Structure 1
Amino acid sequence: MDEKGDARHLTTAEVANRLDIKPETVYAYVSRGLLTKVAASGRRGSLFREDEVARLARGRRHGGEHTMADIASTISRIEDDQLRYRGHHVADLVTTQPVEAVAGLLWTGDFAAAPPQFTAPAELLTTCRAAVGALPENVRLTDRMRVAVTVASASDQWRFDLSPQGVLRTAGILLAVEVDCLGKAHRDSGALAERLGPSLTDQALPAGLLDATLILLADHGLAISTMAARVAASARVHPYGVVSAGLGALDSQYHGAASTVAYRFLGDAIADPLGAASERLRLGGGLPGFGHLIYRAADPRADLLLAMLRSIPAATPALTAIDTITDQLGPPHTAIPNIDLALAVLMHAYRMRPDAGEAIFAVARTIGWIAHTLEEYSEPPMRFRPNRTPVPAP
């Protein structure tokens, strides 16, 4: 028996040796909830339960040699209920940097790597707007984005430039196309958040609030859509195709649609908090917008956004409903408010479209997908193919 109880524990180096991975990958596993880090009292470093490591080792042997879990990304890290982008705490970034600078940080590690604003050639924008404009008015914003990205790809003869400089060029076009082809953008230049806002709501948004939201959502490790993007990038799909893969995975009930479900639930909860919560529990499936697979005590992204919203009077009804549910029911029913619920509060406060949260998520996460694209392009191609044969060098 050791100081942590009956279970035996391993150091980071021992886990890395047991799984035949780099020490950095051990902490990537922690970020994804695959391993639980245990504080080592009286010594530096961390410990990990040997039985968890053994189960993970068995799963890796049965699942093939190369898995998504083996990615040791340096883009973001989730540890001890904290989220960092390349070592920078998101709480610091939302108060000191615009989303354009954070994009540069995620893409290259340099705040100045991205241009101060994202733009696309006028002719390309005209073509994309014509295609999006042909869609019915009730088409969702993320569907409009998918069409715009596909048309932009077909219109860009330089899309196959996979060099870092080429990817950064394409990234700027992608983000411009996503926000400027939604139907209500008033300009084709300027801050990304200011150009996106008019497509979400007719109300004026406080300076910096939507920008901060985009920063909070820009990356979150190997989420499902990011995994789809990395698989595409591994096959050396061009950035338009990578973002299309991410948008496709985002369009699902368990991922991108979560904020829409939380928005609809919160609408009921504003009128009758306990009644809405009780009805959801009766139907099964838990409360939308509460709980998280990785965070144990608090979702730092939700905490930051909700704290900003508490100073906005229009958010009071939604926040009061959340507080009532949390205070009355308590754990384990409510768990913790997550970023989807915080997005829902933002949407209700500014009377946004019901699908606005998905659009915000898609634009923000495009920044993260580009970062993972750049990282994956530096790895051997097709590395996630089971029983693969060597790919000849180009």
Structure 2
Amino acid sequence: MKNDLSAPDAARLLGVSLPTLYSYVSRGLLASVSNGQSRHKRYPQEDVLRLAARKSDAKRGGQTATAAMHWGLPVLETQISHILDGRLLYRGCEATTLAQHATLEAAAGLLWDDGASDYFQQNAPALPPGLASAADATPLARAMLAMAMLAPADMPHALESGPALMRLLAAALLQTAPSALPLHQQLAQAWQADAEQTELLRAALVLLADHELNASTFAVRCVASTGASLPAALGAGLAALSGDKHGGGSAAARRMLTQALAAPDAREAISAFYKTIAPAFAGFGHPLYPDGDPRAAYLLGILSTMARDKPQLAAILAVCAAAGQLLDARPNADLALAAMELAFDWPEGAALSVFALARSAGWIAHANEQAASAALIRPRARYIGRHQRDWK
């Protein structure tokens, strides 16, 4: 507590108003903690000082560092997507509105060039030779291998390559032949989904198509900025997605649901589960959505209507609600994906496959935008170790 600051003190150090301080918290730039005795939040002094240093760096860096990341700060401009007031927008179109009717292919066209062209009329590509040897690998590992097998010259930075890459990803993830069928239908066929589930898959793919500058998208843009091929950039995105703190969120949420459903006391099992992985609440909370993840709300809303004649789904949703109450947190997209995977007996890891295939649309958009800028991403580091000393 001695190292925690009150809101007025933190705002004073940062040179901002209280509303701006609170916006820093909602945007994930600053953490807040509760002292357990008061409703007023406190702010770790070290975090506040670090943010103040970053603000000072930004002022010194000037417009050049802000407008482009090469030799600047980790800030970049994009026309692709943004998160505003708890809403996710693709080129100004709200993702939840698109999810009502659009396909992933339509969302990809919007992200790539504002829907000016229909890129998905071409035929399905052939699988890279040798991918069949990876039959025992995980879906994500097969997808990464498929991207690595594509020669740089085969897939330059061009939007015309996008549909072929997405269809190859679907084939690698599902271990099927490449197909020109709509991507949500390919998932549905592989997992024997009925008509309701197929529509849910369509909506989920649209909602997950992009998410501003997340970790995997940043990795994609870094690789694309070097002039590497589009498959290489997508391979970087898949690698970043494989981490527990990114694409692994749905697997952790599934484990929580499975343990709670099997336990005599679901609430006790939920509490025990989250104590072992604290402070990360798998499936709950998102710093960019302080009032709740709209993607999760949309998908869980559909699941609620489907649960009326599906006892297993109703039980899963009851666990989701109980966990939210215990954690005092709202669900995020990871929980919705985990609930879908578990409720409909899709293969374990299906949620991550949905995530990877959907996000490939956004990755392609960001890779091409970055390549078109001709800017190399090379942020500066702030050294915090020992200063010059003699070596002994």
TM-score exceeds 0.5: yes
The match for 1:113 is 117
The structure 2 residue matched to 1:98, chosen from 94, 103, 118, is 103
Contact 1:228 1:246 in 2 (8 A): yes
Task: Work out whether residues 124 and 178 of structure 2, in 8 Å CA contact, stay in contact via their aligned partners in 1.
Answer: no
Match of 1:159 among 143, 155, 160: 155
CA contact (8 A) 2:120 2:163 kept: no
The equivalences for 1:216-231 within 5 A come to 216-231=207-222
The whole-number CA distance in structure 2 between the counterparts of 1:303 and 1:59 is: 38
Which position in structure 2 is the counterpart of 1:208?
199
Q: Does the alignment pair 1:285 with 2:281?
A: no
Q: CA deviation at 1:322?
A: 1.2
> What residue is the counterpart of 1:338 in the other structure?
332
Describe the shift of the 1:183–1:101 C-alpha distance in structure 2 as closer, same or farther (beyond 3 A). closer
Structure 1: which 5+ runs fail to align? 16-26, 37-49, 388-394
CA distance in 2, matches of 1:367, 1:108: 12
- Residue 23 of structure 1: aligned partner: none
CA shift in 2, pair 1:10/1:239, >3 Å: same
CA contact (8 A) 2:80 2:111 kept: yes
Contact 1:229-1:369 at 8 Å conserved across structures: yes
Cα offset, 1:381, TM superposition: 2.9
Assess, with a 3 A threshold, how the Cα gap between structure 1 residues 54 and 174 changes in structure 2: closer, same or farther: same
- Inter-partner Cα distance in structure 2 for 1:241 and 1:278: 41
2:73 and 2:335 map into 1 onto residues whose CA distance is 28
Deviations 1:115-163 (A, max 9, x none): 3456433xx32xx3x52321243x2111111122222x12x74423x3x
Of 259, 269, 277 in structure 1, the residue corresponding to residue 260 of structure 2 is 269
Secondary structure in 2 matching 1:254: coil
Q: Summarize deviations over 1:140-187 as a string: whole Å, max 9, x none.
A: 111111122222x12x74423x3xxxx112111100101123455477
Q: Which residue of 1 aligns with 2:357?
A: 363
Shift of residue 263, structure 1, vs aligned partner: 1.0
3-state DSSP of counterpart to 1:208: helix
Give 1:294's aligned amino acid. L
In the alignment, which residue of structure 2 is the partner of 1:296? 290
Question: Which one-letter code corresponds to 1:132 in the other structure?
Answer: L
The aligned residue for residue 33 of structure 1 is 28
Q: Aligned partners of 2:117 and 2:246: how far apart in 1?
A: 30
Say if 1:118 and 1:33 are closer, same or farther in 2 by CA, change over 3 A: farther
Query: What residue in structure 2 maps to residue 310 of structure 1?
Result: 304
- Equivalent residue runs for 1:162-201 within 5 Å: 162=157, 167-182=158-173, 184-185=175-176, 188-199=179-190, 201=191
Equivalent in the alignment of 1:133: 132
RMSD: 3.2
Q: Aligned equivalents of 1:301 and 1:142: distance in 2?
A: 22
Distance 1:281 1:192, change over 3 A: closer
TM-score (norm 2): 0.77
> 1:108 corresponds to which letter in structure 2?
D
Measure, in 1, the Cα distance between the counterparts of 2:247 and 2:377. Answer: 27
Aligned partner letter, 1:381: A
Kept in 2: contact 1:180–1:188 (CA 8 A): yes
The runs of at least 4 aligned residues of structure 1 exceeding 4 Å deviation read 4-11, 29-32, 50-55, 59-65, 116-119
Query: Is 1:240 the counterpart of 2:231 in the alignment?
Result: yes
Q: Spell out, residue by residue over 1:266-302, the C-alpha distance to the aligned partner (whole angstroms, 9 max, x if none).
A: 1112234202212124324144211112211201110
Match of 2:79 in 1: 74
TM-score (norm 1): 0.76
Aligned length: 337
- Shift of the alpha carbon at 1:99? 1.5
1:39 aligned residue: none
* Deviation, structure 1 residue 219: 0.8
Show structure 2 runs of 5+ residues with no match: 1-6, 32-47, 66-70, 382-392
2:143 to 137, 142, 145: 145
Matched residue SS, 1:311: helix
Provide closer, same or farther for how the CA distance between residues 120 and 150 of structure 1 changes in structure 2, counting only shifts above 3 A: farther
Q: State the distance in 2 between where 1:379 and 1:336 align.
A: 38
Q: Quick check: 2:135–2:175 contact (8 Å CA) kept in 1? A: no
